[in-house]
Amino acid sequence: MPATAERPEILEVRALCAEYGNQAPMLLEILHDLQDKLGYIPEMCVPALAECVNLSKAEVHGVVSFYYDFRTRPGGRVTVKICQAEACRSMGAEALTEEILSRYGVTLREATAAGVTFEPVYCLGNCALAPAAMVGSELLGRADGPSLDAAILEAGR
């Protein structure tokens, strides 16, 4: 069994932190990049992160847990964010969310067998073309069941 410090995730942490000069103020950027690479922020990375940027583990944990973007467990293969804010509500976002969740047979944040996760989001800045959704990194305007299905299929490829 290799020592913890040799695990690839930890090596990734060290490399990323070094890229950002091991600077504590760059912690959010480091976390974003780490999540892009690993799909989530494994808890075992916290001590190494803390050590590299010279913060306490509690401080790093505090940051990871504060921001909605950072996941501490692997998410689905495709993430679908459906806007729940006012402009999208005025165009039926709630009904759309309900419809799609029941069709895929999951609740919010629960992955389907095919690895699709639906998440609520508050505003994607596409309020004139509500309801809005984001499938992977693809923004959808005037989203409806069929357009979401098509985008999910596309993103899953």
Partner 1 sequence: MSMILYVPDDAAALSVGAERVAKALMVAAGERGLDLKLVRNGSRGLLWLEPLVEWEGPDGRMAFGPVPPGEASGLLEAIVAGGDHPLALGPTEEIDYLKNQERLTFARVGVIDPLSVRDYEAHGGLAGLKTALTMTGEAICEAVLQSGLRGRGGAGFPAGIKWHTVRKQETAEKYICCNADEGDSGTFADRMLMEGDPFTLLEGMAIAGLATGARRGIVYIRSEYPHAISKMSRAIEALEEAGWLGGNIRGSGKDFRVSIRRGAGAYICGEESSMLNSIEGRRGTVRSKPPIPAIHGLFGKPTVVNNVLTLATVPMILAKGADFYKEFGMGRSRGTQAFQLAGNIRRGGLVEKAFGVTIRELIETFGGGTATGRPFRTAQLGGPLGAYVSDEMLDLPMDYEALAENKAMLGHGGITVFDESVDMAEMARFAFEFCEEESCGKCTPCRIGAVRGRETVEKILRGENVARNIALIEDLCELMTDGSLCAMGGLTPMPVLSAIRLFPEDFDRAPALAAE
Residues that bind partner 1 (CB under 8 A): 23-29, 31-32, 53, 59, 62-63, 66-70, 83, 85-91, 121-130, 132, 134, 137, 139-142
CA distance linking residue 95 with residue 79, whole number of Å: 19
CB neighbours of residue 75 within 10 Å: 15
Angle (CA) 111 136 110, round 5°: 15
Smaller CB distance to partner 1: residue 79 or 100?
A: 79
Smaller CB distance to partner 1: residue 7 or 136?
A: 136
Q: What is the DSSP letter of 121?
A: E
Smaller CB distance to partner 1: residue 101 or 121?
A: 121
Shortest reach from residue 2's CB to partner 1, in Å: 30
Shortest reach from residue 1's CB to partner 1, in Å: 33
Shortest reach from residue 131's CB to partner 1, in Å: 10
CA distance linking residue 117 with residue 149, whole number of Å: 13
Angle (CA) 60 65 69, round 5°: 110
C-beta of residue 82 within 8 angstroms of C-beta of residue 133:
yes
Shortest reach from residue 129's CB to partner 1, in Å: 6
Smaller CB distance to partner 1: residue 26 or 106?
A: 26
